[in-house]
């Protein structure tokens, strides 16, 4: 009896010790998660850093692993996690996921400056002019008078979002013909610039990064439109060459009253980039020096390629725009067989896989170019090698239509 009692006491002591050990370990683990979450948040919220799709996808994977918004985390941790998820979703081009998480963020932390800054990136990337205008108005009230003009300029850019691109046609020096309103099936970025206010080194670097990141994406097109008078044509060409502009250029050879820059698009202060979606509507008016501009292109491409659900555009006045287009390929030709608009409900909690995403994009290219046998082989490979992923579920849906 005495010996048994001793064993019982030892069992109790061991249990107490284990509990104390777990209590000591948990804060250490929480501290590690907190530091890593802060690092991801700071990286994504840095207004000068364009995060790659792969890095953003990895961040989303970490957030899903931690499951912080659903767990009993502190309010600070939940806010960090929600902001990080919104920005990471935008960086991979998943506008719908970003909007869904932002709604939770705005409901829980409506008046925080960090929420407003996240809202601006979201509004730019998903084409929500009303949210962008309201957010910039609030942010402008928080800064000194000398800084407010920059916020006012950004607010003016949102006025064109959600409107149909002007029905004009112009030719670039390499013979490329551009019709912004009728070029459906892909994403068009027009870089409006001039030599009187030449792009800064940061703006040039941002444009080149945008081109390098997206030039191989199906349906992507970047063109430049320069509004310089005929006397400035040689100088404009020299600037384009010096800046390393490898994309087609259209030189209007007109200063004031330039037909494309000033009359059709009514561009104010250049340089500025206008992003036109696969439906022929303006999704964003931004500047490639800002990460939000890059994410707007990724969201537009993700929707055009069928990777993610479309997010309706919203005009400056608050009107929701759901453009309707014919099924066309990236070159603007009528597609051989339109894909159905409504997809079956996918299972929840599917993970994303970068390698599977590359294969899925290639399969979609095969479908658009009529190589259905090659597309089917790739889709079957995705289903076989990447079970439990969003890409595998998408492949199952697409293979039924072949």
| Cα–Cα dist 183/177, whole Å | 10
Q: What is the mean pLDDT of residues 73-79?
A: 86
What's the pLDDT band for 4 if we cut at 50, 70, 90?
Answer: very low
The pLDDT of residue 401: 59
**Structural domains for the chain:** 33-157 (no CATH), 160-321 (3.40.30.10), 354-400 (no CATH)
| Cα–Cα dist 397/125, whole Å | 27
Q: Is a pLDDT exceeding 80 seen at residue 263? A: yes
The pLDDT of residue 109: 94
**pTM reported for the whole predicted model:** 0.76
Between 178 and 371, the higher pLDDT residue: 178
| Cα–Cα dist 165/104, whole Å | 33
The pLDDT of residue 368: 62
Q: What percent of the chain has pLDDT over 90?
A: 56
Give the pLDDT confidence of 226-252 residue by residue, as tens digits.
998 888 899 999 999 999 999 999 999
Q: Is 286 helix (H, G, I), strand (E, B) or coil?
A: strand
The pLDDT of residue 334: 41
The pLDDT of residue 223: 97
Is 93:295 a contact under the CB 8 Å cutoff?
A: yes
Q: Is a pLDDT exceeding 90 seen at residue 103? A: yes
The pLDDT of residue 2: 40
Work out the angle at residue 139's Cα, subtended by the Cα atoms of residues 147 and 101, and round it to the nearest 5 degrees: 145
DSSP string, 55-74: HHHHHHHHHHHHTTTTTT--
| Cα–Cα dist 329/304, whole Å | 10
Q: Is a pLDDT exceeding 50 seen at residue 69? A: yes
Q: Is 49 helix (H, G, I), strand (E, B) or coil?
A: coil
Give the pLDDT confidence of 141-161 residue by residue, as tens digits.
888 887 888 888 889 999 999
Q: What is the mean pLDDT of residues 254-277?
A: 91
The pLDDT of residue 15: 52
Between 11 and 336, the higher pLDDT residue: 11
Q: Of 66-75, 238-247, 375-384, which gets the smallest average pLDDT?
A: 66-75
Average pLDDT for the chain = 84
Q: Is a pLDDT exceeding 90 seen at residue 277? A: yes
β-pairing verdict for 170-171 and 313-314: unpaired
The pLDDT of residue 11: 53
Between 240 and 402, the higher pLDDT residue: 240
Q: What is the mean pLDDT of residues 152-178?
A: 93
* End-to-end alpha carbon distance in the chain: 77
Q: What is the mean pLDDT of residues 176-185?
A: 87
| Cα–Cα dist 155/132, whole Å | 7
Between 145 and 215, the higher pLDDT residue: 215
Instruction: Provide the β-strand partners of residue 42.
Output: none
The pLDDT of residue 29: 60
Give the pLDDT confidence of 15-60 residue by residue, as tens digits.
544 444 444 434 556 788 889 999 999 999 999 999 999 999 999 9
Give the pLDDT confidence of 315-366 residue by residue, as tens digits.
989 999 977 654 444 444 443 333 333 344 445 467 888 888 888 888 877 7
The pLDDT of residue 5: 47
Q: Is a pLDDT exceeding 50 seen at residue 272? A: yes
Q: Is a pLDDT exceeding 70 seen at residue 10? A: no
Helix, strand, coil % in the chain, rounded to nearest 5: 55, 10, 35
What's the pLDDT band for 212 if we cut at 50, 70, 90?
Answer: very high
């Amino acid at each position: 009896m005495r010996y048994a009692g001793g064993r019982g006491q030892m069992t109790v002591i061991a249990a107490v010790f284990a509990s104390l050990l777990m209590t000591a370990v948990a804060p250490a683990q929480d501290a590690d998660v907190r530091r890593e979450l802060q690092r991801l948040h700071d990286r994504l919220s840095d207004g000068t850093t364009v995060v790659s799709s792969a890095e953003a996808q990895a961040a989303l994977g970490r957030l899903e692993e931690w499951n912080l918004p659903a767990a009993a985390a502190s309010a600070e941790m939940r806010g960090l996690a929600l902001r990080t998820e919104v920005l990471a979703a935008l960086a991979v081009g998943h506008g719908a996921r970003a909007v869904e998480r932002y709604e939770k963020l705005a409901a829980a932390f409506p008046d925080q400056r960090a929420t407003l800054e996240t809202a601006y990136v979201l509004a730019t990337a998903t084409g929500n002019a009303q949210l962008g205008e309201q957010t910039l108005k609030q942010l402008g009230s928080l800064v000194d008078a000398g800084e407010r003009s920059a916020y006012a300029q950004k607010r003016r850019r949102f006025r064109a979002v959600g409107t149909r691109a002007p029905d004009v046609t112009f030719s670039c020096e390499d013979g490329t013909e551009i019709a912004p309103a009728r070029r459906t099936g892909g994403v068009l970025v027009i870089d409006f610039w001039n030599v009187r206010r030449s792009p800064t080194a940061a703006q040039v670097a941002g444009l080149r990064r945008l081109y390098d990141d997206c030039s191989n994406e199906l349906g992507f097109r970047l063109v430049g439109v320069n509004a310089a008078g005929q006397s400035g044509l040689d100088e404009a060409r020299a600037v384009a060459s010096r800046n390393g502009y490898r994309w087609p250029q259209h030189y209007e050879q007109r200063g004031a009253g330039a037909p494309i820059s000033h009359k059709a698009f009514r561009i104010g202060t250049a340089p500025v980039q206008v992003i036109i979606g696969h439906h022929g509507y303006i999704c964003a008016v931004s500047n490639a020096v800002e990460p939000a501009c890059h994410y707007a292109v990724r969201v537009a491409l993700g929707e055009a390629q069928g990777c993610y659900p479309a997010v309706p555009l919203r005009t400056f006045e608050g009107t929701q725009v759901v453009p309707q287009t014919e099924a066309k390929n990236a070159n603007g030709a009528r597609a051989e067989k339109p894909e159905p608009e409504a997809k079956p409900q996918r299972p929840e909690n599917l993970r994303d896989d970068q390698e599977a995403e590359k294969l899925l994009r290639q399969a979609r290219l095969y479908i658009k170019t009529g190589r259905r046998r090659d597309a089917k082989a790739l889709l079957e490979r995705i289903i076989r090698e990447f079970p439990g992923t969003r890409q595998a579920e998408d492949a199952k849906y697409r293979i039924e239509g072949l």
